[in-house]
Amino acid sequence: MANYFIFPKTLIILLCLNSVVHPIEALSQPWSLLDAPKEILQNLIRDPLSLSLASTDFGHIIHQNPVAIFAPSSTKDISKLIKFSNSLPIPFTIAARGQGHSVNGQSMTNDGVVVNMTELNKGFGNNGSSGIVVFDNFVDVGGEQIWIDVLHATLEKGLTPLTWTDYLYLSVGGTLSNAGISGQTSRFGPQISNVLELDVVTGKGNLVTCSTKKNSELFNGVLGGLGQFGIITRARIALGPAPKRVKWLRLFYNDFSTFSGDQEHLISVNGINETNAPNYVEGMLLLNQPPLDLSFYPQIDQPRITSLVTQFGIIYIIELVKYYDDNSKDHIDQEIENLVQGLKFIPTFIFEKDTSYEEFLNRVHFDELALRTQGLWDIPHPWLNIFVPGSRISDFDEGVFKGIILKQNITAGLVIVYPLNRTKWDDNMSAVTPNEEIFYIVSLLRTTGFDKLEAFQAQNQQILQFCKDVGIGIKQYLPLNKSHEEWVEHFGLKWETFEKTKAQFDPNKILSPGQTIFN
Ligand code: FAD
């Protein structure tokens, strides 16, 4: 059990709610939870299982001990909790937790209260939670909702959000606090560029509706704002017509600059209504390291793929998708032919699948189910996600993919690399990117046992140090812990606004302490 002597005095009283604590401890405080609104008292949870779940995340690297979990049954409850904290001489910290799919403690607090956002969903209909309500051009979604449910609800009306993350069991509030990127981002922007309006409970406890026209400083601050200014309780997200099916292609390259040149060519046609543009462009590496995951490819092709990887050490793969439906099914093959015409992939190393739109979007969930059965899901994930300026991506390939990852004797795991168009991002928002027209997301998505965790963490540091040494101006996505100076550097020109917005909306610095920006 947690040692309550290290908790702030204000919260010691919380411990006596449904846990064992010396009552005198509670009575000796000048302020008491007995003065707190009833909704706070009745919604606090301290059972060991809930506390233990909230003290870890998908990363399984950081562990923090919250004092209690708050299960809000309405957005008003969240507001009351935040106001109560602010009313105390020493406010306690509050961490919203969507799905806890962060990898570095971002949704945790060591000495405060975790708000379990999933609880909001349970009372939908009479509690101020938005649930999921689909309109003609947009959907109103509670911040606690997960994207797979948004997909299902919108598909029922023949509609869909335009842009996604690779994995859909993430909360809307969680991805909008970062950016929300995937293969659709180069054409349709990150998820934060597709938000029309938000309801936010600020760090002062006020419920504010905001958009680019109304309370825009809060709107822009919250999108990509790492949970620092308020808790998103509703997001209005743009919709378009949903396709039925997709052509899903993978093209192989043995030369990095040919690969990235073709990727950049593919994302150069990116108008939202452009019929000749791909709907999704990503990329990944196949490294000559076990285990080689060839599950996408026909069995008959797997031996020749294996020998290609053995021959070159690294194979670069473009992943390309074109949507279609009943109206376009007669010319989809021609459209695919037009798209790949002129691309310089290795002849005959082009593979295609035809699948439903839903199955494609939900693809990572199938991997999740397989990994879960092998016990490979709830183990450490020392991930590193970085944005690399387009002008330096070849240096990154030489120095990191070939110079570090391929040479070291630890399995890289899934390595994703694809370019994004900066014009699709709104620079007024908090999300940070390199200052170049084209930049790449590089995601090193490792899964490991505790025995190799340190080796991966050391490799991550080596990669960051390499970029620093050779002057590649990367920006971290889903940033890991940083010192104050590193955060200031991370936000660059945006830091002044970020700090000011914090002072305006969360002056006591109580929200999302797990990001370690202001504490
Ligand atoms: P949490 O981990 O619960 O929270 C993340 C941060 O947001 C915390 O600081 C938290 O306090 C804050 N927060 C949570 N809810 C709210 C809210 N309602 N209002 C304000 N702040 C809030 N990201 C991508 O962009 N693209 C991908 O393709 C992608 N794939 C992924 C695949 C997997 C398997 C996993 C585990 C993660 C992936 N991610 C991806 C990263 C993911 O988007 C982030 O980790 C995101 O924060 C997870 O959402 P969550 O609901 O679990 O957030």
Q: Give 366-383 pLDDT, tens digit per residue.
A: 999 999 999 999 999 999
Residue 483 clears pLDDT 80, i.e. is over it: yes
Q: What is the pLDDT of residue 72?
A: 93
Three-class SS state of 451:
helix
**Residue 36 CB-half CA count within 13 A:** 26
Candidate of 94, 113, 167 to mutate for ligand 1, largest count of ligand atoms within 8 Å of Cβ: 167
Q: What does the pLDDT read at residue 462?
A: 97
Q: Is the pLDDT of residue 129 over 80?
A: no
What's the pLDDT band for 1 if we cut at 50, 70, 90? Answer: very low
Could you tell me what percent of the chain has a pLDDT over 90?
85
Instruction: Please give the residue that has the higher pLDDT: either 290 or 78.
Output: 78
> What is the average pLDDT across 275-304?
95
For residue 35, what pLDDT is reported?
Answer: 67
pLDDT at residue 127 above 50?
no
Is residue 508's pLDDT more than 80?
Answer: yes
Which residues are marked as active site?
Answer: 101, 166, 282
Measure 176 CA to ligand 1 centroid, in angstroms.
Answer: 8
Whole-structure pTM value: 0.94
What confidence score (pLDDT) does residue 417 get?
98
pLDDT class for 273, splitting at 50, 70, 90? confident
Per-residue pLDDT tens over the stretch 425-444: 999 999 999 999 999 999 99
pLDDT of 265 over the 90 cut: yes
Contact 386, 475 (CB under 8 A): yes
Residue 26 reports pLDDT greater than 80:
no
pLDDT of residue 10: 44
Mean pLDDT within 263-277 = 92
In the predicted model, is pLDDT for residue 498 greater than 80?
yes
* pLDDT for residue 34: 57
User: Angle 461-462-463 (CA atoms, 0-180°, nearest 5)?
Assistant: 90
Tell whether the model's pLDDT for residue 275 goes beyond 90.
Answer: no
> Is 78's pLDDT higher than 60?
yes
The mean pLDDT value of the chain amounts to 91
- Of 94-98, 114-118, 287-291, 444-448, the poorest mean pLDDT is in 287-291
Identify the CA nearest to 260 among candidates 323, 316, 215.
Answer: 316
Name the closest-CA residue to atom 43, ligand 1: 175
Who lines ligand 1 at CB under 6 A? 57-58, 95-102, 106-107, 117, 143, 165-167, 170-171, 173-175, 177-182, 226-227, 231-232, 478, 512, 514-515
| Residue 337: strand, helix, or coil | helix
Residue (of 239, 267, 220, 228) closest to 426 by Cα position:
220
- Ligand 1, atom nearest to 179 Cα: 25
CA distances from 372 to 49, 310, 368 (A): 20, 29, 6
Of 39-48, 246-255, 274-283, the range with the lowest mean pLDDT is 39-48
The mean per-residue pLDDT over the stretch 157-164 comes to 98
Residue range 13-30: average pLDDT? 38
Between CA 263 and CA 268 the distance in angstroms is: 9
Assigned token pair, 392: 């330096």
The pLDDT confidence band at residue 346, using thresholds 50, 70 and 90, is very high
> 284: helix, coil or strand?
strand
- Could you tell me the distance, in angstroms and rounded to a whole number, from the CA of residue 153 to the centre of ligand 1? 21
Contact 238/138 with Cβ under 8 angstroms? Answer: yes
Position with higher pLDDT, 439 vs 31: 439
| Residue 406 reports pLDDT greater than 60 | yes
Q: What is the pLDDT of residue 489?
A: 96
